[in-house]
Structures are given as C-alpha cells and as structure tokens.
Amino acid sequence: MGKTINMGRLGPDVLCGPVPAGDVRAAGAEPVQPRAGSAHGLAAPLALVRAVVLRDWRSLLVTLVTCAVAAVVTAFQYQVYTSFVRAGAVGPSYIGGTVWVGAGSIECFDFPGIIGEDYAGLLARHFPDARVRRVAFGFAEWTSPTGNRGNVAVIGLDGATADDGTPLADKTFVAEASDLARLDLSGATGEVATLGGQTMMLGGTTDRLPTFLGAPYVVTGFEQARTILRMEPGSTAFLVLDNQTQSAPLLDAALDEARARYPELLLSSQAQFAQSSSRYWQRKTGAGSAILLAAVLASLLMMILLANGVSRFLQRYSQDLLSMLGHGGGEREVWLVAGGIALVVAGVTLTAMMLLTPLMIAVARPLFPWVFFVPADALIPALAVLASLGVAIVGARSAVRQFGPEAVFRT
C-alpha cells in the first residue's frame, strides 16, 4: 500500500486547491508538468511563498531582523567612510578654485608649507586669465566668550565671505555651525572672542566645514589670518587660481609647463588636491581603511545570514515542498519557492536599510557632525544586498537538488 503524502505545515489547500477541468488523469499515468513560464506553473510556488509570509511570518522574523541589522550596519559604515573621505578634503572643497599652488611635496591642506606670494605674478604667464586668491592656514589659540581656552584651525582667504555672500569685515570670522558648542558660541552675530591674541567678532556661521580634525575651523580674511598666525609679510600657504573658462586640455598643458618650470612648487587642480588631502588622512590615520573594512565585514555577514535563512527555510518546509512535488511540481518549482523567499528577505532588508540608516546617522550626529547621509552613497550597500540575494539563491543549489522527483518516493 502506498504512503500518503504529508501535506506539511501549511496544509493541502495551499498547495493543491481545486483541480482544473481536464487535469484529471488515469491511474498510473505520468503527471504532466506545467509548461515553463506559464501562470499555472507559478501558482504553487507563489501560493507557498504567500502562505509563509502571511501565515507563518514569525518563522522568517529572525532572518529578517538579522539581515536588516547587518544591512543597516553596512550602509552606516559605508556612509561614515564616504563622509570621512569628504571631510578629509573639506578645506579645498570650501575654498574651491581651479588650480592650487603650494610648497613642493605638500600632500594635505591641513599641513601646508610656506611660499612667497610673488609666485602669483610668475605664474601669470601660464594662467593669464586666472584670478589669484591667497590662502593662509594654521592653528591658533582660542579664548571663548566665557573664557575657556583651546585651539582652532584658522583659514585666511582673500575675499572671504559669509555663507550669504556678505564680505567679512575686519576683525570678524565665520565659525562652523556644528562646532559652536565647542567654541562656547550661540551663533548670534557680534559675539566676541579672542583668536591668536586678536579680539574678533563672529560675522556668521557655515555648515560646510565639519571636521574630525580635533580643532574647529574658523574663516577670516587673509591679512587678518596672516597677523594671527604671525606669518612673514609676503608669505602665503597656498595660491588659488580661479579660471573657469580654460578648457581641461589647455589647463593640463599649462599645469605640465608650470610644473617643469617651478619644480619646487605643488601645482594641481582643485580636484586633485582634494583627493590628495583625503588620501593623506586615510593613509596616515588608517581610520578610513578600518571603517571600510567594517562595512565589508558587515556585508559578508549579511550574505551569510541570508544564505543561512534560505537554507533554514528549505529545511523547515521540506514536507510542504515534497507535497508540491507529489502534486506534479519539479525542481524548478522548488527553485522558485527558495528564490521567492530570498527575494522577500532581500526586499525587506533593502527597505529597512534605506529607512533606518538616515535615522541612525541623525541620532549619531552629535558624535559625528561630519557624517552625512548621501543617497548616492547608498548604491554600494544596495548592491551588496543584491549580491547577498544571489549568494543565497546559489548557495541553496545543493539543498534544492535534494527535492528531485525521486524524493517523493523516499518519503
């Protein structure tokens, strides 16, 4: 006497349903497989996936939560890494320009050398239409309005303005908004503080200079900064050339010619110098590599958890899958079920990542004011989720092969 096929956890109504007219076959006749790609061929797999999600969602909850946590950690760490890269070049990004000129072998904006400002005239032959701005940079003592002392990073710039475009008057400075509490400032224009022995007034705030440097950035006029930093007359840290009309090929040719004539100088485009500053911080501190490694490890954990979740599902619902085989299904239908569950988990994981990561960054903003959520930076973590989906489906191959037609008779 043949054995009765076990209907599994979800019951016969999920897998069988009413038998369509014309599908009744003579005893002993070989079951006719549904046509590949037909709606009938997808009915049983979709019914099983829907039943698991609606009736037995608690069995998926652990997999959903663990995969979502791993995905959020991956996205958070990657956003921290990309923010670290941007913050490493926040000075050049704030100042802008077309060509940066500094002392030779200088790699980072935050550790400049000193050059003569008369190089501006010498470089005019290579960049005849460029407007030149002098930039001073250094660290100075800070005394807040309440008397607390510390250090700040001073940026002096020709034509310095507040974020609204208002030129900075003499004895005024701009402070980074995220560092106001550290500077004991409320942000009200006219607050008085002492910068390098000079009494200065707050002329405005900016949100474009967040930093992990340890010393807040403040911006003032070039001559004022040179006095505060006690630099020699006629000296500067950088020269910034503004020449937006010069085409890229002509700019590269002019840079090559100027480098050959003045080997003692650093000459680079603004983008190149920004990249150099970011690489300097990543290489010298190792923090960027550590953050990126954490993101990679979290993505690998997500792949393992998703693959393990699909494998656990196949084990948990093996009897339902065997019942589906006994009613005319094949290995393809089992693949569709496994892939459907993996797709559900990946979809929930991706949704949780996109919703929770900005929230986590907002909560952590007091600790990491230089970390921002950029939607474009979420593309790499999203691709990691899709890669995890592929790994889970491929990883279930051996388990799916156990559900061949012969598995019905082994039961």
Residue boundaries of the structural domains of the chain: 37-83+288-410, 90-285
What's residue 17's pLDDT?
Answer: 45
What's residue 321's pLDDT?
Answer: 65
What's residue 320's pLDDT?
Answer: 66
What's residue 22's pLDDT?
Answer: 37
Whole-number percent of the chain with pLDDT over 70: 82
Digit-coded pLDDT (tens) for 355-376: 999 999 999 999 999 999 999 9
Whether the pLDDT of residue 19 is over 70: the answer is no
Q: CA-to-CA distance for 100 and 103, rounded, in angstroms?
A: 10
Contact yes or no for 112/153 (Cβ under 8 A): no
Q: CA-to-CA distance for 302 and 279, rounded, in angstroms?
A: 29
Digit-coded pLDDT (tens) for 55-114: 777 878 888 999 999 999 999 999 999 999 999 999 999 999 999 999 999 999 999 999
Q: Specify the amino acid at residue 321.
A: L
What's residue 53's pLDDT?
Answer: 80
| Cβ count within 10 A of residue 237 | 25
Q: DSSP readout, 187-236?
A: --TT-EEEETTEEEEEEEEESS---SSSS-EEEEEHHHHHHHTTPPTTEE
Among 370, 241, 243, 285, which Cα is nearest to 108's? Answer: 285
Whole-number percent of the chain with pLDDT over 90: 63
Higher pLDDT pick, 31 / 237 = 237
What's residue 39's pLDDT?
Answer: 47
What's the pTM value of the predicted model, to 2 decimals? 0.83
Digit-coded pLDDT (tens) for 173-190: 999 999 999 999 999 999
Digit-coded pLDDT (tens) for 253-281: 999 999 999 999 999 999 999 999 999 99
Whether the pLDDT of residue 156 is over 90: the answer is yes
What is the overall mean pLDDT for the chain? 85
Max mean pLDDT among 39-53, 134-148, 320-334, 395-409 falls in 134-148
Confidence of residue 27 (pLDDT cuts 50, 70, 90): very low
What's residue 225's pLDDT?
Answer: 97
User: Mean of the pLDDT values across residues 199-213?
Assistant: 94
Q: CA-to-CA distance for 160 and 220, rounded, in angstroms?
A: 6
What's residue 397's pLDDT?
Answer: 66
Digit-coded pLDDT (tens) for 239-256: 999 987 777 888 999 999
- Which phi-psi region, left, alpha or beta, contains residue 28 (left: φ > 0; alpha: ψ -120 to 50)? left
What's residue 180's pLDDT?
Answer: 96
Q: CA-to-CA distance for 288 and 84, rounded, in angstroms?
A: 7
Confidence of residue 41 (pLDDT cuts 50, 70, 90): low
Q: Report CA-CA distances (Å) from 9 to 20, 58, 330.
A: 24, 13, 19
Confidence of residue 308 (pLDDT cuts 50, 70, 90): confident
What's residue 120's pLDDT?
Answer: 95
Higher pLDDT pick, 189 / 404 = 189
- Which phi-psi region, left, alpha or beta, contains residue 402 (left: φ > 0; alpha: ψ -120 to 50)? alpha
User: Mean of the pLDDT values across residues 2-15?
Assistant: 47
What's residue 133's pLDDT?
Answer: 97
What's residue 58's pLDDT?
Answer: 82
Whether the pLDDT of residue 18 is over 70: the answer is no
What's residue 10's pLDDT?
Answer: 56
